[in-house]
Amino acid sequence: MVANYQHPGIYIREIPNARSIQGASTSVAAFIGTAESGPYKTPALVTSWNAYTRQFGNLTWYGFMSWAVYEFFQEGGTHCYIVRTTDSGQGAVATASIGNITLKAASVGIWGNSLQVCITHGSPGKATGGGSSDQTPIFNLLVVVADSVINPTQAPTDQATLLLIAYVKQNALSKTSINNSSYYVLEAYNGFTVPDASFQTRINTHSMFIRVPTTDTMRPVNTPTPLPFNNGRNPTWDFQGALDTLATVQELSLLAMPDTVGVTDDSGAADTITQSQLANQGLSTCQDLESLFYVIDPPFGLNMSGVLSFKNGTPAPNSSQSGRAINSSYGALYYPWAWIFNPLSNSNVPIPPSGPVLGRYASTDTSMGVWKSPAGVTDGAMRTVTALFAQLTDSDQETLNPNGINALRNLINYGNVIYGARTVSQHRQWTYLSVRRLFIFVEQSLKNGLQWVAFEPNDQTLWAAVTRDIDAFLTVLWGQGALLGAAAQEAFFITCDASNNPPQTRALGQLYIDIGLAPVYPAEFVIIRITQKTAVPDSGS
């Protein structure tokens, strides 16, 4: 603006400083999946686990998103968005009736059909194994599963049963006899007199297997034989519809879809083909938005050959079918599944790895920066993971690493850690996730910080201002250790002048800014050279 001075005197004019470019958010995750309550297909911000439970419900068996969000906050995450998916199929919750009370499985699906419920007499704090008709004012409620489910005559293949078997064995649950039949007690709630509101609240806030939607004022009769849950049906989750909503949230940078691991085929076995398709849908969304990085969960129960087939799109052993190869710089795959401790049930629960992994992403971003790989015995330490489904060896990782599969490992003296830092891309330039996430960070920061450039005169003044602002931003990054170089000039370059903005492009209203970065690569292989020094004999001896 040209100053217009009309009279002698002192004039004050504020001169704008260089516009600073603020770093884009890198640790805000989006979790897509099933929940007990809350709005459908509407990204909702939550800033703590308590905030999640108030809006979306509690931890539920076979509701993998709830566990992932719980672990995200446990491992260092601070805020995330929740997108509850809709069921485009015929999913139903398994139910059981005891007198006037209807109990429901905690989440939708056929898994609930394996549950049974038993009402017994007893005293507070004590659950008896019998179903005597001798009524006492106090009753206990047991959630059980039949011995024949846990120890079948033929090896099961359906995922729901395999998960229950793994849970019972991991927690060393013992059999109990009820009316001369053997059961495993999954949960026991003791010392009730009436199934009133306190009964409902206690079970609904502590159980991961069942819910009490209604109450009564009459003590239910004892059940000599446990009553089965039935009519549970698997859903068809609309993951794509949920993915489409992410474009409305600007600060997102991470993505997980834990409930993809619950997708099964008609026999109930993990549907690895559909799961690989869903993984590619998530990656496609990340590539389109250019701001998200997807942490992919592998199907449950895969061995080394199985996870390699899932990643590479090759037929699994003893199968002629294969899914799509998973290949993109906008995602990472972790293996195997993990066990975490549930303080409400005092037991270990199986979960896919995305929850604790994303917690470590968020924690490392805060403490170090997006350019630091969330891996290793410090930044990759998963302190709330109690065990892993497979104990991987160095030779296992020699196979996993070249295929872009990041290992979760148990290391002596360090515990359970993330021990891989690769994307699922086969492009050598984008091997490491820290490099891809650094470029996402820089690109989004510049996109947000240079909005003022639009509609400005495309001339030397603008080119100089843009170069100045970007140089200041990248110099700070270099100083923080994000870029490689003994001097800032070695770490990056910026070209925004007449050489890349000739008259013909300016006539089209286009401004070109060419930027080159020298990212810091993680020290994935640490080579230690050991030399033995032999004493030289004294020549005078």
Regarding whether 383 and 252 lie in a shared domain, the answer is yes
- Is 442 within the bounds of a domain? no
Is 444 part of a structural domain of the chain? no
User: Based on the domain organization, do 357 and 416 belong to the same domain?
Assistant: yes
Same domain, yes or no: 499 and 383: no
Q: How far is CA 239 from CA 32, 85, 108, 248, 410, in A?
A: 7, 6, 16, 16, 33
Asked whether residue 200 falls in the same domain as residue 320, the answer is no
pTM equals 0.92
**Enclosing domain of residue 156:** 95-228
- The reply to whether 320 falls in a domain is yes
What integer pLDDT is reported at residue 3 of this predicted model? 62
Q: 254-282 pLDDT, tens per residue?
A: 999 999 999 999 899 999 999 999 999 99
Residues 218, 241 share a domain:
no
In a domain, 409, yes or no: yes
* Percent of the chain with pLDDT strictly greater than 90: 81
Tens-place pLDDT, residues 172-196: 999 999 989 999 999 999 999 888 8
Pick from 471, 473, 452: nearest CA to 462: 452
> Which of these three, 209, 228, 247, is where a domain ends?
228
Shared domain check, 350 and 206: no
Residues 353 and 423 in one domain: yes
**Residue 61 and residue 126 in one domain:** no
Assigned domain for 160 exists: yes
> Quick check: is 540 in a domain?
yes
Is there a single domain that holds both residue 469 and residue 391? Answer: no
Of 63-77, 124-138, 324-338, 482-496, the range with the lowest mean pLDDT is: 124-138
Q: Are 328 and 400 in contact (CB under 8 A)?
A: no
> Residues 9-65: pLDDT tens digits?
676 766 566 677 888 889 999 999 999 999 999 999 999 999 999 999 999 999 999
Q: Is the pLDDT of residue 339 over 80?
A: yes
Structural domain count of the chain: 3
Which of 228, 253, 274 finishes a domain?
228
Do residues 77 and 170 share a domain?
no
Does 398 share its domain with 285? yes
**pLDDT above 60 for 124:** no
User: Residue 387 burial (CB < 10 Å; 0-12/13-18/19+)?
Assistant: middle
In 285-330, the DSSP E strands lie at 293-296
pLDDT single digits (tens) 286-307: 999 999 999 999 999 999 999 9
pLDDT value for 25: 84
Q: Is the pLDDT of residue 163 over 50?
A: yes
Mean pLDDT of the chain: 92
Band of residue 160 on the pLDDT scale cut at 50, 70, 90: very high
Element at 334 (helix H, strand E): strand 331-335
Give the span between the Cα atoms of 296 and 458, in whole angstroms. Answer: 43
Same domain flag for 263 and 367: yes
Which comes out higher in pLDDT, residue 42 or 220?
A: 42
pLDDT in tens, 387-428: 999 999 999 999 999 999 999 999 999 999 999 999 999 999
Residue 439 lies in a domain: no
Given 228, 254, 280, which residue is the final one in a domain? 228
What CATH number has the domain bearing residue 299?
3.40.50.11780
**Average pLDDT for residues 135-150, to the nearest whole number?**
91
Please check whether residue 18 lies inside any domain of the structure.
Answer: no
Edge-to-edge strands, sheet with 175-178: 175-178, 181-192, 139-146, 116-121, 227-228
